[in-house]
Structure 1
Amino acid sequence: MIDLGYSLSPRFPDPPQTDYRTADAYALRHDLFCGDVYLADTKVDREVSTAWGWVPVFDFAWALCDIVEQLDRDPRGSRSAQPVHAELDFTESSDRMLFERRFGWVDVTADWVPLEEPPLTFNHAALRREARDFLHDVIADLTDMHEGLADNPVVWDVQARFPRV
């Protein structure tokens, strides 16, 4: 079972003068909604998580959806034995979350996880579904908190690009 979550940081609040209705993609992905994120496998009770307080949560949700799609570019899909790699870079550091798909399974680890710890392994279709649900849940939470964000064309675009499965 996959569990994706986040918490917003009180140490890095959004600027009070922000007009969420007109914020561009760069601001939405890099400057706003900072906090921490986690990706957990509840069956084995392990997770890959950040504890920095500055991770752009909306960007993480959006990038995770992009990565899951990137891992699905092989036309053989879940029949492919050829590994497909992707990584999620955290812009304020050199840390990366690493993804490898083989057949229908995705291994997830990170630079900061000890080498002896095995990766988290998820079914690709389940990871796609959970990543998109997470993105829509994050957007719903953020639009409840920030007036005008629901009217932002960038938010409309990302919701249309990654509909719930």
Structure 2
Amino acid sequence: MLDIGYSLSRRHPDPPQTDYRSADVRALRHDLFCGDVYLADTVTDDEIATPRWGWVPVLDFAWALCDIAERLDRDPLGSRAARPQRAELDFTESTDRLRFDRRFGSVEITADWQDVTEPPLVVRHEELRREARDFLHDLIEDLTDMHDGLGDNPVVWELQSRFTRA
């Protein structure tokens, strides 16, 4: 079972004057809600986590993860495709990336900062898609509880409608 989580940073708080109701895409994806993220297999206890950077925009991470799950499903053969389908999630403040390699129905996830001897995190594609969408919606619920006006932001509405819960 895939678990995706986050923690918000106290070192990189949002600017106090932020109007979350009208924040644009750039602010929502790159400037707000910084912290750290992880992906974990609850059965094998394998985990990929950012190394306490504190500056990862967690909403952007959730958004990008949903995009990647869709991108990995573009081959018309879907889970029958033998040709690997690849995607990367790059972190804007560093050269580090998460790499996603799908072959058939499984996705291998690796991180540049991991030791090369560590095995990749392996999940089923449909589980990645479902958990990424659930994580996005749970994160938005948490953030709207913390930040007045965020739930009224049209960008957030569009994001929730684009990636509905599975």
User: How far does residue 135 in structure 1 lie from its aligned partner after superposition?
Assistant: 0.1
What secondary structure does 1:59 align onto?
helix
Alignment of 1:1-165 (within 5 A): 1-50=1-50, 51-165=52-166
Q: Which runs of 4+ in 1 moved over 6 A?
A: none
CA distance in 2, matches of 1:46, 1:75: 31
Q: What letter corresponds to residue 28 of structure 2 in structure 1?
A: L
CA distance in 2, matches of 1:130, 1:72: 15
CA distance in 2, matches of 1:117, 1:73: 29
CA distance in 2, matches of 1:11, 1:118: 31
TM-score, normalised via structure 1 length: 0.99
User: How far does residue 43 in structure 1 lie from its aligned partner after superposition?
Assistant: 1.2
User: How far does residue 86 in structure 1 lie from its aligned partner after superposition?
Assistant: 0.3
User: How far does residue 46 in structure 1 lie from its aligned partner after superposition?
Assistant: 1.3
User: How far does residue 18 in structure 1 lie from its aligned partner after superposition?
Assistant: 0.2
What secondary structure does 2:62 align onto?
helix
In the alignment, structure 2 segments of 5+ residues that lack a partner are none
CA distance in 2, matches of 1:142, 1:79: 38
Q: What letter corresponds to residue 108 of structure 1 in structure 2?
A: I
Q: Spell out, residue by residue over 1:6-35, the C-alpha distance to the aligned partner (whole angstroms, 9 max, x if none).
A: 000000000000000000000000000000
CA distance in 1, matches of 2:127, 2:16: 37
User: How far does residue 42 in structure 1 lie from its aligned partner after superposition?
Assistant: 1.2
What secondary structure does 1:147 align onto?
coil
What secondary structure does 1:107 align onto?
strand
Cα-Cα RMSD: 0.4
Q: Percent of aligned positions with the same letter in both sequences? A: 72
In the alignment, structure 1 segments of 5+ residues that lack a partner are none
CA distance in 1, matches of 2:120, 2:9: 27
Q: Spell out, residue by residue over 1:95-153, the C-alpha distance to the aligned partner (whole angstroms, 9 max, x if none).
A: 00000000000000100011111101000001100000000000000000000000000
**Count of residue pairs brought into register by the alignment:** 165
What secondary structure does 2:164 align onto?
coil
User: How far does residue 156 in structure 1 lie from its aligned partner after superposition?
Assistant: 0.4
